Structure 1
Amino acid sequence: MRMLLFVAAAMLALAGCQSTKLDADLQKSLPAICGAATQAHDLYVLALAADRVSEKTQRRADAAWASLHPVCADPDKQTTSSILTAAFAAYLTISAAAH
């Protein structure tokens, strides 16, 4: 029983280390994520101006940008979950629009 508690405590400690590394890695890659998202949004605006975007895709793209833009505007105050959620939503929207 004592060994089981020791293993559980070690696993929790290790998980905490990995979470900290994930946070740091996400913070480091956030400028690249935001740069790519900004370029994609600029292309989207051009397609929108050329009337090449359906209304449904427009709503989705606007929602994805609305969730990602604040993350990119203030990256120091973001959590791992907010970065992942916003980036994943933007990725799904871009993927859906591309197909």
Structure 2
Amino acid sequence: MTQKITPDAYNELRAVLMRANPERDGDKIRLKLPRGEVTLSRDGLKVVAETREDAEKILRNLHYYSMPPGLWPAYGLSYSIKRGTFRAGEG
């Protein structure tokens, strides 16, 4: 699921995602979650997950990263999980 975003939306989403210690490559930010992956670039926001329902849930819950990290697990979020064997979208 990919969504085009405005420059203002990019800056807001970037500030939120940076709280979760994502991987960074220039302007591209990649956040690996237990049930999917979020990639933010100036062109758009991309959510990859095993199911459409998982992708929609991740997209709905992204704004909760602006809350204190102790509350994230309640919304299905986590700190950036970096496992060599985890690849979102494969299954």
TM interval, shorter chain, is 0.3 to 0.5
- Choose between structure 1 and 2: higher helix proportion: 1
Larger radius of gyration: 1
- Choose between structure 1 and 2: higher strand proportion: 2
